[in-house]
Structure 1
Amino acid sequence: MIEAQALSKRFGDKLAVDGLSFTVKPGQVTGFLGPNGAGKSTTMRMIVGLDHPTAGVATVNGRPYRDHADPLRQAGALLEAKSIHKGRTARSHLLALAQTHGFPASRVDEVLAMVGLQEVAGRRAGGFSLGMGQRLGIAAALLGDPAVVILDEPVNGLDPDGVLWVRNMLKGLAAEGRTVLVSSHLMSEMAVTAEHLVIIGRGRLLADTTVDELIARVAVGSVLVRSPQATALRDALVAHRATVTSAEPGVLAVGGLGAERIGDLALAHGIPLYELTPRRASLEEAYMDLTREAVEYR
């Protein structure tokens, strides 16, 4: 479990994190979201002891990360994919980490296989692509078989197969009862990966909620309608002051009228309907609505 209590961090006159409190529970993937400059990376660095809080405290499994005798078994983190010695091979990079905790060399081979780098284990990491560097960083995070996994933008540079692999890996880790905190700017990916969300803006907590609860807050106000007589239906709806747009033949996006009223009008005009669906907001729409006033760099 990760707990942040009134966590603040100041850099000179810049308050990067401002009284932030939240809990990341085991058994689910928690998405950590916010605009650029919101304080996500700084918060993650404070969780793993790389930055010291100006105020407040962050704990991993009940105590500050640096106080654990076996930190790599407690939490594994990927905060910067390229924070590796470029002259070392992938295997030697992981082996150096393993030796600090007394992990066997066999564990290095296990995680290289897990992330799909076993065939390039002898190559120098400085020649890796961004995607390969991400995989090596994830391997390092998983090296200690940790109870807590913290990943900052883990799908950057990955191809579609790699993105799917990360998604399934995160869900698998959560299903094993681990605590998983992952940041991303890809709302479409968070929508199918995360169950819970912690969203910050300008260093402050904006939401600590589930994906479904966040989306339910946003009223999209449009209805998807399919009809073989879409033109006649459009005229009837416009006559009742609805706004109607169409992206393809036979399909209307209707605003200003509810689904029930649209159905009643279609019935009154003898127009058959094939679909009448109030549109649900996407996670991206809900996120943009929530963070509109918290964008640091427009």
Structure 2
Amino acid sequence: MIEARSLTKRYGETTAVDGLSFTVRPGTVTGFLGPNGAGKSTTMRMILGLDRPTSGSVTVNGRPYADHPAPLHEVGALLEARAVHTGRTAYNHLLSLAATTGIPRRRVDEVVDLVGLRAVARKRAGGFSLGMGQRLGIASALLGDPRTVILDEPVNGLDPEGILWVRTLLKNLAAEGRTVFVSSHLMSEMALTAEHLIVIGRGRLIADTSVREFVGRASAGRVKVRSSEAVRLAQLLAAQDVTVVNDEDGTLHVTGLTSDRIGQIASDNAVTLFELAPQQASLEEAFMELTADAVEYRAPGGDGRPAGAEEVAA
């Protein structure tokens, strides 16, 4: 279990993490999300004792990371896959970690097989691809058979087979009762992997909830409508507190009206409907909506809407 209480980190006049409190519980894959510059990396570094909090505290399994007598057996972490001696082989890199922490050689062989590096275990890590480096980093994190696993962007550089492997691995670790805390910018993958989310922006907590509740909040009041008279229907639906987005294919996305009310308006005006259904937002859409005010770096003109979509103003 990871417990952060009023965790704060300042660098001069800049506040990277601001009064952050959350709990990451065992038995669940917890996703850690936030825009660039939100404070995710700083938070992870404080969890691992690499940065000292300005104020507040964070513990792993009841203790600060540095207070654990055998930290690799408590916490396995991957923050930077390239943090290896490039002249060592993958096997020797793991063996050196094991030798300095009392981990038997047989465990090195186990994790080499677990991450699929047996064929290249005797090759120098400096020649590894990004994906192979990720696998070696995950092997290092799992070397001590830890109760808590912290991974930052673990699928970065992996092919589809590798991404599926990481997804299955994380779910299996959580099913074994371990605490799994993972950061990623790949929303589609996080939607398939995580059960719970901690979302931060500008160093502050935005959401601490299940994936289902997070997406459901963004989906509330959204309706998908298809009609042969999409432009006319959009004009009929447009009103105060109602937003209608018209895709290039004529599909309307309506916020602020129920399906029943849209159907009644269409019927009253003899508009034929081909489809009328509540719309489920994707995790990416929910994330963009909830963190819109917390984005520090935004592309010019970026509003999060699909290309070619136009909004019908009230």
TM-score (normalised: structure 2): 0.86
Alignment correspondent of 2:170: 170
Alignment correspondent of 2:129: 129
SS of 2:162 mapped into structure 1 = helix
**C-alpha distance after superposition, 1:214-250 (max 9, x if no partner):** 2222257542235xxx32576456445484735448x
Alignment correspondent of 1:231: 228
Equivalent residue letter for 2:246: T
Query: Contact 2:236–2:265 at 8 Å: present in 1 too?
Result: no
Quote the Cα distance in structure 1 between the aligned partners of 2:72 and 2:109: 17
Residue 119 (str. 1) matches residue 107 (str. 2): no
Quote the Cα distance in structure 1 between the aligned partners of 2:238 and 2:68: 65
Q: 1:30: Cα distance to partner?
A: 0.7
Quote the Cα distance in structure 2 between the aligned partners of 1:263 and 1:38: 42
Equivalent residue letter for 1:192: L
Query: Contact 1:7–1:57 at 8 Å: present in 2 too?
Result: yes
SS of 1:83 mapped into structure 2 = coil
> CA 1:275–1:231 in 2, change beyond 3 Å: closer, same or farther?
closer
Q: 1:274: Cα distance to partner?
A: 5.4
Query: Contact 1:197–1:208 at 8 Å: present in 2 too?
Result: yes
Equivalent residue letter for 2:36: N
> CA 1:280–1:120 in 2, change beyond 3 Å: closer, same or farther?
same
Q: 1:33: Cα distance to partner?
A: 1.0
> CA 1:269–1:16 in 2, change beyond 3 Å: closer, same or farther?
closer
Q: 1:10: Cα distance to partner?
A: 2.1
Equivalent residue letter for 1:36: N
Quote the Cα distance in structure 1 between the aligned partners of 2:280 and 2:25: 27
Query: Contact 2:8–2:19 at 8 Å: present in 1 too?
Result: yes
SS of 1:108 mapped into structure 2 = helix
SS of 1:99 mapped into structure 2 = helix
Quote the Cα distance in structure 1 between the aligned partners of 2:185 and 2:58: 23
Quote the Cα distance in structure 2 between the aligned partners of 1:58 and 1:253: 43
**C-alpha distance after superposition, 1:20-47 (max 9, x if no partner):** 1111000111111111111111111111
Query: Contact 1:233–1:266 at 8 Å: present in 2 too?
Result: no
Corresponding residue pairs, total: 294
Alignment correspondent of 1:245: 246
Alignment correspondent of 2:189: 189
Quote the Cα distance in structure 2 between the aligned partners of 1:187 and 1:269: 40
Alignment correspondent of 2:21: 21
User: Which deviates the most, 117-126 or 204-213?
Assistant: 204-213
User: Which deviates the most, 282-291 or 59-68?
Assistant: 282-291
Quote the Cα distance in structure 1 between the aligned partners of 2:70 and 2:237: 68
Alignment correspondent of 2:302: none
Unaligned runs of 5+ in 1: none
Quote the Cα distance in structure 2 between the aligned partners of 1:262 and 1:46: 50
Quote the Cα distance in structure 1 between the aligned partners of 2:257 and 2:207: 30
Quote the Cα distance in structure 2 between the aligned partners of 1:290 and 1:256: 17
> CA 1:49–1:99 in 2, change beyond 3 Å: closer, same or farther?
same
Equivalent residue letter for 2:66: R
Quote the Cα distance in structure 2 between the aligned partners of 1:176 and 1:68: 22
> CA 1:90–1:240 in 2, change beyond 3 Å: closer, same or farther?
closer
| Percent of aligned pairs with the same amino acid | 65
User: Which deviates the most, 119-128 or 203-212?
Assistant: 203-212
Query: Contact 1:241–1:256 at 8 Å: present in 2 too?
Result: no
Q: 1:258: Cα distance to partner?
A: 3.0
Unaligned runs of 5+ in 2: 299-314
Alignment correspondent of 1:107: 107
Q: 1:172: Cα distance to partner?
A: 1.1
Alignment correspondent of 2:157: 157
User: Which deviates the most, 189-198 or 81-90?
Assistant: 189-198
The correspondence of residues 27-176 of structure 1 with structure 2, limited to 5 A, is 27-176=27-176
Quote the Cα distance in structure 2 between the aligned partners of 1:34 and 1:188: 15
Quote the Cα distance in structure 1 between the aligned partners of 2:208 and 2:73: 27
Quote the Cα distance in structure 2 between the aligned partners of 1:7 and 1:268: 56
**C-alpha distance after superposition, 1:40-85 (max 9, x if no partner):** 1111111111112221211110001111111111010000000000
SS of 2:53 mapped into structure 1 = coil
Query: Contact 2:228–2:273 at 8 Å: present in 1 too?
Result: no
> CA 1:244–1:10 in 2, change beyond 3 Å: closer, same or farther?
closer
SS of 1:217 mapped into structure 2 = helix
Query: Contact 2:215–2:283 at 8 Å: present in 1 too?
Result: yes
